Amino acid sequence: MNSLVLESLNGILEDKSVSSQDIMEIYSNALCDPGELFLTSQILRKRFKGNFVTFSKKAFFNIANLCRDTCSYCTYKSEPGDDKLSLMSKQQVSELVTLAKQYGCIEALFVTGEVPEQKYNKARDWLRQNGFESTAEYLVYCSEIALESGLFPHTNAGNLSYDDMKELQKTNVSMGVMLENISDRLTEKGMPHHMAPSKRPHARLAVLENAGRLKIPMTTGILLGIGETVHEVIDSLFAIKKLHQKYGNIQEIILQNFQPKPDTAMHDVSPADERYFKIIVAISRLIMPQMNIQIPPNLSPESYQDFLSVGINDWGGISPLTPDFVNPEFSWPAIDAVNEHSKNAGFVLQCRFPVYPEYFGMVNPELQDKMAAIADDKLVGEKYWR
């Protein structure tokens, strides 16, 4: 173990500031032996998160999967006429809300492509048929329907405007937008975000800045394995940290591992290497020791429980009802199986709301009261989700 690296790790444990150069040195050392890094991340995770691991029991509302962007790895996006096209009507939303309640879901996850009405006549016609002018306006309506039925909305609809987020804030207990990476290089010709204007780093950062100004509990994160360099990953994590230090509203970081999909430009690219993935997870804990950090368990189906030992404290949303429409080839694990794996690793599984307990104060009082009705110490009471 490099003595300077060991000094940096000890300094982090003593709550000293850490630089991107320090983290790069820790990463380089961990390529040969990640043991000390993993141990440090475990200590920090236990210090700030205890022996608990959380998840959100959700229903995935695939509101509209037309999208003005084209990412080289994405199969979520549909075109008009595709079999997988989803443009949910008011009735379909209401029916899924009812079903979600029957399955004991707590979260209504509303997902859309990037402002589909800007590109597709079909999206504009669909909105008019439902009585709306914009996707954001329809999302407000859907959120109200979910909330009235006892589900708690979390919207992930790309680069929403300040005004749209302000309106959704009335009914959504949290929102999300993935930064994915802060590197402009990944938007150049031949790179995965070249045809995705909304993925330009300045555009994503602007959304996160607006969420900070509005004090919206926000989920963001990075995508690993799409051609990024380690320097770009570290820069991205520090960019998120800087936003959180400024506004205090980043409630969670998702670390998502790339998995290649058929019928995409990146179908023959190898998935994110698991050793690399684990090192980045541990480094994320070092950069932001008190942050809620999750990996999607369905994208590491054979080994997700192993990530409990490198710093995560959350599994994200898991649905007993709907598929992961973004990664449909990867089924959600059964909640009972996640519970068993977590227990075997020495952790207690708890169900949370879409907003984490420490961010309840940012949610408007009316929504806080609704959550309090089924809460146990700001987590979901066990009888409501088991």
State the virtual CA torsion across 306, 308, 310, 311 in degrees, nearest 10: 160
pLDDT score at 255: 98
DSSP bridge partners of 349: 53
How far is 6 from 2, CA to CA, in rounded Å?
6
Which amino acid is residue 223, in one-letter code?
A: L
pLDDT digits (tens, 9 = 90+) for 103-160: 999 999 999 999 999 999 999 999 999 999 999 999 999 999 999 999 999 999 999 9
- Residue 329 has what pLDDT? 94
Q: What confidence score (pLDDT) does residue 2 get? A: 83
Ordered structural domains, the chain, with CATH: 18-385 (3.20.20.70)
pLDDT-derived band at 277, boundaries 50, 70, 90 = very high
Over residues 63-68, the mean pLDDT reads 98
1 band by pLDDT with thresholds 50, 70 and 90: low
Query: What are the two backbone dihedrals, phi and then psi, of residue 288, each rounded to the nearest 5 degrees?
Result: -130, 80
| Cα–Cα–Cα angle for 369, 374, 378, rounded to 5 degrees | 75
Token look-up 């919207």 returns 155
User: Measured between alpha carbons, how far is 371 from 105 in angstroms, rounded to an integer?
Assistant: 13
Alpha helices (H) along the chain: 3-13, 20-32, 35-49, 90-102, 121-130, 135-148, 162-168, 201-214, 230-247, 274-287, 335-344, 365-372, 382-385
Average pLDDT over residues 244-271: 96
Residue 376 has pLDDT above 70, yes or no: yes
Residue 70 has pLDDT above 80, yes or no: yes
Mean pLDDT of 46-57: 98
pTM to 2 decimal places? 0.97
* Residue among 86, 67, 87 nearest 77 (CA): 67
Mean pLDDT of the chain: 97
Query: What pLDDT shows up at residue 69?
Result: 96
Instruction: Specify the pLDDT at position 306.
Output: 97
For residue range 329-347, list pLDDT tens digits in order: 999 999 999 999 999 999 9
**What is the reported pLDDT for 3?**
83
